[in-house]
Structure 1
């Protein structure tokens, strides 16, 4: 993986870690985070209702990883831009990804929404409970996507795959055992498949029945 590729993975992993709370805490009234899809030089923030998983219930906003000065964008900025977009009508778009409307965000023309009290409280709690580390866990979680009431797709950086591996898992069953085995399972090339419907991964592993 190139230096720039490693930097992209680290930034996508950082953004994913920061935004996880908003799967349970609403971004706006009735709107939650339903996925962070990693793509080249950007992340796609997927929003929808609390339990939305169908494409017509979701909207993806593509936000670049760097600003007009080529500086890496911060997670609070991504959150602020997403909230600003949700405060207005859905921008017109003809683009789609995985069946969802895809909005390409011009961050230079968008003023981020101000933090809400819960954001500031989370900043304090994260800093104390989850201190900053230079390197993300391995394999780095660079994104996720809810695929059903008890299933999700995890986007993991596995160097020998030549890109991200998407692992489909269930959130029920022997979850502790699955999470312990996951770093080894994603390295097993005989499990790898290709999913042409998902442009965010190089390979796919189905662990829903593991």
Structure 2
């Protein structure tokens, strides 16, 4: 592999690690409103950024949701922290979303200029959750495999999981239902998403290379 190719691969791996870190942190904030009646509905991985999706608690993927694209690195090329991403998202969730001519998967896409945006200060509930997460889910040297790099609530009882599968040239999006035999599904998920015969293209979703439909599993 050329030196340039190696640098590209290293940058991609660092981006995936950063996206997985942001997802782990933001998962705990899907159950309470960010502001008013606006909830965190997803975190979509894309090149050099994450797209934080907000909407009502029961919002479907479409015009009722907004995707805010936030760069993974700051002006000094340092990775942005998850509390900062959450603070920016809380600020954006207050009031009317900025206008945008861009869209993704039927949602308005707003590219965020973090230089001009003040993050909302964390409420005490955020601080308490951070303490509990640190103690309950301590950092481990070997992260989960495949890594969860994004998620999106797609319906009242369904969601899409974006997973970094080594055998794929991009992320695999697994569609799952939240009802049924979840324990069995979660145990089998790492092997199911690696079965290439299950992979299918999805031209409507730019955040993955293939999808796997596990809603009937």
TM-score, normalised by the number of residues in structure 1: 0.97
Matches of 2:216 and 2:56 in 1, distance apart?
27
SS at match of 2:150: strand
Q: 2:199 aligns with which of 176, 184, 192?
A: 192
Runs of 4+ in 1 over 4 A off after TM superposition: none
Q: For 1:11-50, what aligned pairs fall within 5 Å after superposition?
A: 11-50=18-57
Higher deviation after alignment, 174-183 or 128-137: 128-137
Which string of whole-angstrom CA distances, capped at 9 and with x for unpartnered residues, describes residues 121-173 of structure 1? 11111111111234420000000011111111000001211110000011111
Report the Cα offset of residue 84 of structure 1.
Answer: 1.1
* C-alpha RMSD over aligned residues: 1.1
2:181 paired with 1:166? no
Q: How does 1:125-204 map to 2 (within 5 A)?
A: 125-204=132-211
Unaligned runs of 5+ in 2: 1-7
1:195/1:203 contact within 8 Å kept: yes
Match of 1:4 among 7, 11, 17: 11
**Contact persistence 1:60–1:100 (CA under 8 A):** yes
Q: Deviations over 1:179-199 (max 9, x none)?
A: 000000011000000000000
User: What is the count of residue pairs matched by the alignment?
Assistant: 210
> Take 2:44 and 2:99, find their aligned partners in 1: how far apart are those partners?
21
Structure 1: segments with no counterpart, 5+ residues: none
In structure 1, the partner of 2:114 is 107
8 Å contact kept, 1:45–1:63: yes
TM-score by length of 2: 0.94
